[in-house]
Structure 1
Amino acid sequence: MYAVNALEWLNLTRHGESTGNVASIAAHEAEREENGIAQRDADIPLSDAGREQAALLGRRLAALPEDERPALVLVSPYVRTRDTARIALDQLPYAPRVRVDERLRDRDQGVLEGLTWHGIRRRFPEEAERKRRLGKFYYRAPGGESWADLALRLRSLYHEQSGRVLVVTHDAIVVMTRYLVEELTEEQVMAVEKTPVANCSLSRWRRADGRLQPVAYNDTSFLTGASAR
């Protein structure tokens, strides 16, 4: 397992359901070329269901034993992640330190931003073919980032941390954290990525025998009654 300095507990959650998640699903089902999201990615807010999920996440965190509760919360700068953190932390009986870190932002899609897979194939067929040839892990859209690029961001971030940490971020960051911490191969992490990371799911690793060991991944058991996409 990946040795990360003095981290005792590493907890990751994806933001609650956003209005962008809802719009993207509807656009895909209708086979539209664009997702119809008006805001830039960083400004997309939570949906009502997403706010409910964030509150349930906070209650789950509040129920942790005191020696497992996060002392530091690292948050992506996007609106949907900052709001998820704020709502969740309002449920806690204590106030952990909170820090926004740009290395936790979502993966940049470059010129493909705002397009569905149908739109990419129709408007940028050469990019769809290049992605097929290179594979999802190493493919980088013009002006965007590959999955491998995310690993470079995250290696430096995690080596700076210690103690008990909660990260509020995006699905790709959760997947690539597992890649780093569990030292997965390209094939293994792309197999993991096929199962969507649910909104406000909780993934946890704890230090044992000098390494971070997996405790839970993509856990949604505490989200009973809330929508999770």
Structure 2
Amino acid sequence: MAELAALWIVRHGESTANVAAARAESSGAELIGLTHRDADVPLSPTGEEQARATGRWLAGLPPHRRPDVAVTSPYLRAVRTAELALDGTGIPVSRDERLRDRELGVLDGLTPHGVRARYPDEAERRTRLGKFYYRPPGGEAWTDVALRLRALLGDLRRDHAGRRVVLFGHDALVFVLRYLVEGLTEAELVALTRQDLIMNCAVTGWSTGGADRLALDCFNDVSHLRQEGTPPTREDEVRAKPV
């Protein structure tokens, strides 16, 4: 199958849930205190500013390097990030449910402390099975996310061979895309998640550079935010997933 010329994924801007999660975790609370279902969580004012700065970065790319097409998660925070970042670019954008965030099932809305306090058996099972294969009741394992992203990549390669595609999604998707695109092992993927938290509006990208496969160009890059004078969300403010 033919390869894409370039692929990027942009994590959504800071959301109100990111802010609430940081507050809950710092106070030792068990519940994040969400007022929306996960699909309807909006961007914070800082998140909107980050998305606009990402748009200025996209607009500043040379024409031969700009994305040809965009695909976004249907979740509001990703859709709004895409709208703000793509405004005025003319890049066509579509939504694909395979780019939704990882579903946490019964653990949704809990801080890591809340998971340990309310579901100690699940916390133990997660430790035993490991991040990659653990599936919370009613939720998804990382392997489930990999299955849907593998299918999406196949469709993108078929429908947009030789073109440049930008995705707008969520932190777990960034890691899983690296696993799929670069052929990482479980151990290599888990090591990545221990080293880095994906920043809001961070860019991760791959390109072929004339070769026959995608190679990593940048990972978790927020230099475009700093150059614009837009504050990246501090790592300790990024919503830490409990599993």
1:205 aligns with 2:206: yes
In 2: Cα distance, 1:209 partner to 1:87 partner? 32
Matches for 1:22-101 after TM superposition, within 5 Å: 22-90=19-87, 92=88, 94-101=89-96
Q: Aligned-pair RMSD on alpha carbons?
A: 1.1
Indicate the residue corresponding to 2:7 in structure 1. 10
Distance 1:98 1:209 in 2: 27
Alignment map for 1:95-174 (pairs within 5 Å):
95-161=90-156, 162=160, 163-174=163-174
Deviation per CA, 1:129-157: give whole Å up to 9, x if none.
Answer: 00000001100000100111111001110
Match of 2:222 among 204, 220, 223: 220
Contact 1:5/1:159 (<8 A) preserved: no
Question: Counterpart amino acid of 1:142?
Answer: P
String of CA shifts for 1:1-39, please: whole Å, max 9, x gaps.
Answer: xxx733111011000000000000111111101001111
| Maintained 8 Å contact 2:3/2:213 | no
Cα deviation digits, residues 44-63 of structure 1 (max 9, x gap): 00000000000000011111
The equivalent residue for 1:183 is 183
Conserved in 2, the CA contact under 8 Å of 1:35 and 1:114?
Answer: yes
- Contact kept? 1:76, 1:169, Cα under 8 Å: yes
% identical aligned pairs? 49
Give the number of the structure whose residues are more often helix, by fraction. Answer: 2
Deviates more, 1:98-107 or 1:179-188: 179-188
> Are the counterparts in 2 of residues 5 and 160 from structure 1 also a CA contact under 8 Å?
no
- Matched residue of 1:156: which SS? helix
SS in 2 for 1:28: helix
Cα displacement (A) at 1:168: 0.3
- Shift of the alpha carbon at 1:227? 3.4
Question: What is the number of equivalent residue pairs in this alignment?
Answer: 224
1:91-131 Cα distance to aligned partner (Å, 9 max, x none): x4x31111100000000000111111111111110000000
Indicate how the Cα distance of structure 1 residues 227 and 217 shifts in structure 2: closer, same or farther if over 3 A, else same. Answer: closer
Q: CA deviation at 1:191?
A: 1.2
Q: Which runs of 5+ in 1 are unaligned?
A: none
TM-score, normalised via structure 1 length: 0.95
Cα 1:151–1:5, aligned 2, differ >3 Å: closer, same or farther?
Answer: farther
Corresponding position of 1:193? 193
Mapped to 1, the partners of 2:3 and 2:130 lie a distance apart of 34
CA deviation after TM superposition for structure 1 residue 193, in Å: 1.3
Q: What one-letter code is carried by the residue in structure 2 that aligns with 1:166?
A: V
Q: Which runs of 4+ in 1 moved over 4 A?
A: none
Residue segments in structure 2 that go unaligned for 5+ positions in a row: 239-243
